[in-house]
Chains A and B, each alone.
Chain A
Amino acid sequence: MDILQAKDRGVNSRDSSAAVHLSAKFHTFEGRKSNKAREKAMTGVFLICGLISIAFVIAISGFLIISGLPAIGQIGFSEFMFGTKWASTAATPSYGILPFILTSIYGTAGAILIAVPVGLLCAVYLAKFAGRNVAVVIRSSVELLAGIPSVVYGLVGMIVIVPFVRKAFSLPDGANLFSAILVLSVMVLPTVISQSETALLAVPEEYEEASLSLGATWTETVFKVSVPAAKSGIASAVVLGVGRAIGEAMAVMMVSGNVANMPGLFRSVRFLTTAVASEMSYSSGLQKQALFSIALILFVFIMIITLLLNFVFKKKEKAS
């Protein structure tokens, strides 16, 4: 900023000597050989900074693959992926992670089924119907909801949702897949709301005006013109929500009961994420390696989602 202000002063002042003085200073500055070397060095430094995030991705994938593959090889791929029994501490241990995979898929699907309709309708209301002040207040509250740590969701889920589910369905224990789905859907809501609202706000007004001028009411216009026009943004909101739900560990760990059952709505279950977290602290040997394999499978799921976001939705946006 100093230089800029100095530049402005130099240009504006009638006395041109200031400007001359400045440029002369820079000239000698640039002329030095050490300065050129420094420029080159800095270019290198920034290049390294730029490459470091690539290095991080490679390091994470590398470490996960190296630690995750041996157990899969030892257990056998199909037995590992499609085995329905996880008994890592039994006398004859079996390592089948199908229960975890299915639980993660069902849990995520359930959360999305609840969160997307509610979140999308709420986003439509915020973007197209609500008054300016209401929208501002709700928007910052939704941001707050997005920022609340997942353990806090887990805590509220443990104290409020789990007892509620137990009483409402008269179960012996309320910590089950259903409670986890409820907590996950609340956690996914902010992502769905804020992403789809952004997409809806970006719809050109001309589209809506054209629809209105053809005799559609405002509600019809919003649902038949604005929402379809924002569909790629809404789709990426859904995929982001899927990513958040499938990767969530702590909150789910606190409300899902954490038993390696095949998934059922009112059964205690274990997700891919919680399977890793719950045994990590006391495991060793093949059991520990199998946990790394679970993490590897989860990582593959996440990579698929990232690729989907980057190459399917981004391409569409560029095309349109």
Chain B
Amino acid sequence: MKTIPHEKIAASRKIKIGILNVLMRLSFLLILALLTGMIGYILIRGLPHVTWSLLSQKPSLLHDTDGILPNILNTIYIILITLIFVLPLGVGTAIYLNEYATKEKIVNVIEFATETLAGIPSIIYGLAGMLIFVQFFNLKTSILAGALTLVIMTLPTIIRTTQESLKTVPDSYREGSLALGAGKWHMIRTVVLPSSIDGIMTGCILSIGRIVGESAALLFTAGMANNILNTGQAFLPGNAGSTLTVALYMYAKERGEFDIAFAIAAILLILTLIINMSAKAVAGGMRGRA
């Protein structure tokens, strides 16, 4: 940063520069305060209430227990079911766009559709999911309907990250494989996909982040029940269940039990941190190799 000596600058310029510098640093400090304040506040209010009995029980009026075990399980089920459906679809779309598509028009339309999906707010997903999966396909309010709604929502993430990593696979890999006589699908399966596994992983982690944080799209699709379901039940229509975020909303807004709400908030915050860090670690590994 080589600049001309300060004393040679006219006073009016100095004032302007000074104001800009002050404003900039103020905004920066504001953001800093916001970050530390918010993260600190959530952890301080929430962590003391994160106890083993909270994590390992289900809420029951009869036994007078509070617990978020059902919500933890439901979150895991929804993540699993969503990924099972969205991974093949998203990776398949990315492969089509990157390896197969020859007509620019189709590519443009698909990419526009993907960006549209990425821009739709989650409350609209919730409504569309309710109309399509809960009512039209008659899955009722269920974990399955919620997960299928999230499949549409997370599809753009998987497509984008997979596509980005497919682009980093050198053409020489493809040519080498084809030159040895491999068919196109054989080449993709054995050469292209294994080399872009980190991009797919990043997509998965980012999608998990979105699923963990989602609430509006699940309110009317996965429901608000707090029962413990086993893995088999989670895949069946009609079994409703609320995730951690929906439970937080219910505890805070409907019941005014803020201690549990903050405990869930602290858990969600830590989960978000872990998800961000692992996404970065995987993406960093990708960049390091490319």
Give which listed residue, B27, B28, B89, B181, contacts A26 with CB less than 8 A: B181
Q: Is the CB of B39 within 8 A of A144?
A: yes
Interface residue B282 (Cβ < 8 Å from any Cβ of A): no
Query: In the complex, what's the smallest C-beta–C-beta distance from B201 to chain A, in angstroms?
Result: 15
For residue A305, which residues in chain B have a CB less than 8 angstroms away from its CB?
119
Q: Is the CB of A38 within 8 A of B185?
A: yes
Question: Given the complex of chains A and B, what is the CA–CA distance between A302 and B124 in angstroms?
Answer: 10
Interface residue A35 (Cβ < 8 Å from any Cβ of B): yes
Give which listed residue, A56, A154, A189, A277, contacts B123 with CB less than 8 A: A277
Q: Is the CB of A49 within 8 A of B21?
A: no
Q: Is the CB of B42 within 8 A of A156?
A: yes
Q: Is the CB of A156 within 8 A of B38?
A: yes
Q: Is the CB of A295 within 8 A of B127?
A: yes
Query: In the complex, what's the smallest C-beta–C-beta distance from A78 to chain B, in angstroms?
Result: 24
Q: Is the CB of A250 within 8 A of B152?
A: no
Count of residues in B whose CB is under 8 Å from the partner chain: 103
Q: Is the CB of B136 within 8 A of A63?
A: yes
Interface 0/1 of A281-320, CB less than 8 Å to B: 1000000000010010011001101100110000000000
Interface 0/1 of B112-138, CB less than 8 Å to A: 111111011111111110111000100
Query: In the complex, what's the smallest C-beta–C-beta distance from B129 to chain A, in angstroms?
Result: 9
Q: Is the CB of B117 within 8 A of A49?
A: no
For residue A117, which residues in chain B have a CB less than 8 angstroms away from its CB?
27
User: Which secondary structure dominates chain B's binding surface?
Assistant: helix
Interface residue B194 (Cβ < 8 Å from any Cβ of A): yes
Query: In the complex, what's the smallest C-beta–C-beta distance from B209 to chain A, in angstroms?
Result: 6
Interface residue B276 (Cβ < 8 Å from any Cβ of A): yes
Q: Is the CB of A154 within 8 A of B249?
A: yes
Q: Is the CB of B28 within 8 A of A121?
A: yes
Number of interchain pairs (Cβ within 8 Å): 282
Within 8 A of B (CB), among A176-229: 186, 189, 193, 212, 215, 217-220, 223
Interface residue B84 (Cβ < 8 Å from any Cβ of A): no
Contact segment of B48-56, B58-66, B94-102, B226-234: B94-102
12 A-B pairs with C-beta separation under 8 A: A1-B190, A46-B99, A53-B117, A53-B156, A57-B113, A121-B28, A122-B24, A122-B31, A130-B28, A138-B31, A249-B121, A250-B216
Binding site for A on B (CB under 8 A): 1-4, 9, 13, 16-17, 20-21, 23-28, 30-32, 34-35, 38-39, 41-42, 45, 88-89, 92-93, 95-97, 99-101, 106, 109-110, 112-117, 119-128, 130-132, 136, 152, 155-156, 159, 173, 176-177, 180-186, 190-191, 194-195, 209, 212-216, 219-220, 245-246, 248-249, 252-253, 258, 261-262, 265, 268-269, 272-273, 275-277, 280
11 extra A-B contacts, CB within 8 A, seeds A54-B109, A64-B127, A220-B16? A1-B190, A26-B182, A42-B184, A49-B92, A63-B128, A138-B35, A144-B269, A149-B214, A150-B215, A219-B20, A219-B21
